Amino acid sequence: MADRMAERDADPTTGAMADGAELGREADSGFAVRGLAAYLQIEQELASRIERGVLRPGARLPAERDLARDLGVSRMTLRQALARLEHRGLIARSHGRGTFVAEPKLHQRATTLRGFFRETVGQGVVPSTRTIEKTAIYATRALASTLQLRIGEEVYKVVRLRSGRGAPVVLETSFFPASVVPGLLALDLDHQSIYRLMEDRYGAGPVRGEQAIEAVAAEPPEAELLGVPAGSPLILLERTAWDGNERPVEYARDLYRGDRSRFTTELRL
């Protein structure tokens, strides 16, 4: 069986065997007898191989019919497992091309006040930024309360789309008191860290923050920018940041793609 799968999954341009062929070597037809639904066992097994690097990003999985046969399950059972893996962002299915191991999620530390640039570069990923909107607005009652301003005081609104590995990851919407960062909107915000600008240019770099994390569904406008269907799961980070003088210097609402992001925290007693 391994020889058949190796032949079937050979790269037609290089002759190299695709990582998906490894599935045939470890196939176990006893999925249904270990006390857990077969599709859940398949999901766990494939997820484990992806996380351990046995199946690497970009690897093509065998065709459903072949994979179901090699695993000793029905195609319906296999499809349940693949649907769950796709929902978790571990695989991606392309009509007419097949099923591939997805790029790993970008890890974000939810307990550290670090910008997207520093987080992604630290993982060996070169990020990119596209400014969607930068404008001066008047502080609403809610913004004035959060940023400790007067109602109607000038606030800068900046909306940026941040990407990594060639795909959108997060839509950032930030509000800054204009009195703290005068002239910010005239600067190039596509190729600079706003936090770094706040520290170096304005002496108002954030040193602490409070944020809430919430699961939300993508509304049509943000879904289009993030490249996901409306209603897709997003992770909302709502944050207020203060500088060293205990001034509120930013209020932000960041929407992360659920299939591209993973948040970690450190817990201690």
User: Using one digit for the tens of pLDDT, what is the confidence trace for 187-204?
Assistant: 999 998 899 999 999 999
Contact 101, 111 (CB under 8 A): no
- Partners of 240 in the beta sheet? 210, 251
Which of 79, 101, 123 is the last residue in one of the domains?
Answer: 101
Same domain for 129 and 220? yes
* Domain at 129, CATH number: 3.40.1410.10
Residue 17 located in a structural domain = yes
Q: Comparing 41 with 166, which gets the higher pLDDT?
A: 41
**Domain identity same for 239 and 181:** yes
Distance CA 198, CA 195 (A): 5
- Residue 269 in domain: no
- Among 66, 101, 136, which residue terminates a domain? 101
Q: Is the pLDDT of residue 3 over 70?
A: no
Same domain, 132 and 60: no
pLDDT, average across residues 101-111: 71
Judge contact between 172 and 134, C-beta under 8 A.
no
Alpha-carbon span 86 to 98, nearest angstrom? 13
Residue 158 CA to residue 67 CA, distance in Å, equals 48
Q: How far apart are CA 20 and CA 8, in angstroms?
A: 10
pLDDT at 17: 34
Let me know whether 251 and 201 are in one domain: yes
Query: For the residues 53-66, what does the mean pLDDT come to?
Result: 87
Per-residue model confidence (pLDDT) at position 14: 33
Helix axes 64-71, 75-87, angle to 10 degrees: 110
Q: Which CATH number goes with the domain that contains 65?
A: 1.10.10.10
- pLDDT for the residue numbered 118: 64
Whether 79 and 115 share a structural domain: no
- Cα–Cα distance, 19 to 96 (Å, whole number): 19
Q: Which domain holds residue 24?
A: 2-101
Model confidence, pTM = 0.69
Q: Do 28 and 136 reside in the same domain of the chain?
A: no
Q: Where are the alpha helices (DSSP H) in 64-115?
A: 64-71, 75-87
- The H-or-E segment that residue 30 falls in is none
Predicted pLDDT of residue 12:
33
